[in-house]
Amino acid sequence: MAARLCPAHTLGGEDMAGSSVRMLGLVREYRMGEETIRALDGFDLTVSCGEFVVVMGPSGSGKSTLLHLVGGLDRPTAGEVWVDGIELGSCPERERIHHRRERVGFIFQSFYLLAAYNAQENVEVPMMLAAVPLRPRRERARTLLEQVGLARRLAHRPAQLSAGEQQRVAIARALANHPSLLLADEPTGNLDSRTGQEIMGLLQGLRREEGLTLLVVTHDSMVASFADRVLHLRDGQIVRQEDRP
Domain 50-72+92-243 architecture: 3-Layer(aba) Sandwich (3.40)
pLDDT at 34 (0 to 100):
87
Average pLDDT for the chain: 89
Instruction: Kindly state the greatest CA–CA separation across the chain.
Output: 54
pLDDT at 245 (0 to 100):
67
3-state DSSP assignment of residue 140? helix
pLDDT at 17 (0 to 100):
55
pLDDT at 4 (0 to 100):
31
3-state DSSP assignment of residue 204? helix
pLDDT at 122 (0 to 100):
97
Distance CA 133, CA 136 (A): 6
Question: Are 59 and 81 a contacting pair, CB within 8 Å?
Answer: no
Distance CA 234, CA 245 (A): 24
Query: What is the sign, positive or negative, of the torsion defined by CA atoms of 152, 188, 222, 104?
Result: positive
pLDDT at 28 (0 to 100):
95
3-state DSSP assignment of residue 167? helix
Which regions of the chain are under pLDDT 70?
1-17, 245
pLDDT at 33 (0 to 100):
86
Cβ neighbors of 40 (< 8 A, separation 6 or more) are 26, 27, 28, 62, 65, 66, 69, 76, 236, 237
